[in-house]
Amino acid sequence: SSPPTRHGTSESAQPLLHNLCHGGLGRLPWVSEPGRSPTCLSPALPHPHGEARAVSRRALPASSQTHPLPHQSVAAGGRKQFSAHNSPLTFFFHFRKCDVLNRGFSGYNTRWAKIILPRLVRKGSGLDSPVAVTIFFGANDSALKDENPKQHVPLEEFVANLRSMVRYLRSVDVPEGRLILITPPPLCEAAWAQECLQQGCKLNRLNSVVGEYARACLQVAQDCGADALDLWSLMQKDGQDFSSYLSDGLHLSPKGNEFVFSHLWPLIEKKVSSLPFLLPYWRDIAEARPELSLLGDGDH
């Protein structure tokens, strides 16, 4: 279900940052600079299949927005398990430094995301000058070819698609320093096998294969100079049981969403910490003539 609305603006059920991701796991966080239209692509919070999100600034005080961007379903599926009222993620929904734009397309892979990215992010679209963009893919791309040929993307093509998206974003003035590439989370094969059985199909993913795509994602980030969040390794660090991070073995659970947020936020914070608030703190609003505080340049 979608998170609560604020100021009459509907928020997407996808990733929190401008995030480009496959319908569940992928997202693209994007935050635009002060004085510019809100633009941030980020994965709604983690969706195991793909998603994109964006966070941007507005020159005039306007309600924060969260709109769906391309993403994989890992995050989207996890979103169904997410309550905006009982999670640290709540903080981001009330983050007054930028607007958040989300795009989530359940089941998408990098092959399809690469095609639609120019429709979502382009110069002069009102979504320019993002402060941060997250790209969150791999859960669908890594599906086994024999069992799930439609979503499967060969590893070499997955790498090429990520590089293509990075190049495109650079061409529309989103430098690598504003990008955060997020690996897919690990797969709990036992739980996902049960889910597949209920759907009448064979196990169509393997954690070892997901790991290959995660490592490839990290290599792309290193090669292009972008930040990276290695969910695949962090969630199973020191052999810990990571099953509680996933609702069905693939999609993120509430605990999984909080895990992603706790590790993603530091990367986002360093990109947005210097931004001023869109509107003044309530104690700073002039009591006699509030319009003097609220109708200024918004740089408070």
Q: Give residue-wise pLDDT tens across range 135-171.
A: 999 999 999 999 999 999 999 999 999 999 999 999 9
Average pLDDT taken over every residue of the chain: 76
Boundaries of every domain in the chain = 15-294
Q: What is the pLDDT of residue 9?
A: 31
Residue ranges with strand state E in 73-221:
99-103, 133-136, 179-182
Does the pLDDT value for residue 54 go beyond 90? no
Does the pLDDT value for residue 42 go beyond 70? no
Please give the Cα distance from 103 to 290 (Å, whole number).
36
Q: Residue 72's pLDDT band (boundaries 50, 70, 90)?
A: low
Q: What is the pLDDT of residue 153?
A: 99
pTM, whole model, 2 decimals? 0.76
CA atoms within 13 A on the CB side of 130: 39
- Four-way CATH pick for 15-294: 3.30.930.10, 3.40.50.1110, 3.20.20.70, 3.40.50.300: 3.40.50.1110
Q: Residue 50's pLDDT band (boundaries 50, 70, 90)?
A: low
Lowest mean pLDDT among 63-67, 151-155, 169-173, 224-228: 63-67
Helices (H) and strands (E) counted in the chain, each on its own, are: 9, 9
Does the pLDDT value for residue 213 go beyond 70? yes
Does the pLDDT value for residue 34 go beyond 90? no
Q: What mean pLDDT comes out for the span 22-39?
A: 40
Residues 6 or more apart in contact with residue 17 via CB below 8 angstroms: 27, 28, 29, 30, 31, 40, 41, 42, 43, 53, 54, 55, 92, 100, 132, 133, 134, 180, 264, 268
Q: Residue 40's pLDDT band (boundaries 50, 70, 90)?
A: very low
Lowest mean pLDDT among 49-63, 93-107, 166-180, 194-208: 49-63
Q: pLDDT tens-digit profile of 75-125?
A: 545 444 444 444 455 555 556 777 777 777 889 999 999 999 998 887 766
Does the pLDDT value for residue 62 go beyond 90? no
Tokens of 151: 């979503």
Residue percentage of the chain with pLDDT more than 70: 65
Per the model's pLDDT, the better-predicted residue between 89 and 27 turns out to be 89
Per the model's pLDDT, the better-predicted residue between 45 and 50 turns out to be 50
Q: Residue 208's pLDDT band (boundaries 50, 70, 90)?
A: very high
Does the pLDDT value for residue 129 go beyond 50? yes
Q: What is the pLDDT of residue 95?
A: 62
Give the SS3 label for residue 172.
coil
User: From its phi and psi, is residue 66 left (phi > 0), alpha (psi between -120 and 50) or beta?
Assistant: beta
| DSSP secondary structure of 191-208 | HHHHHHHHTT------HH
Lowest mean pLDDT among 69-78, 165-174, 186-195, 285-294: 69-78
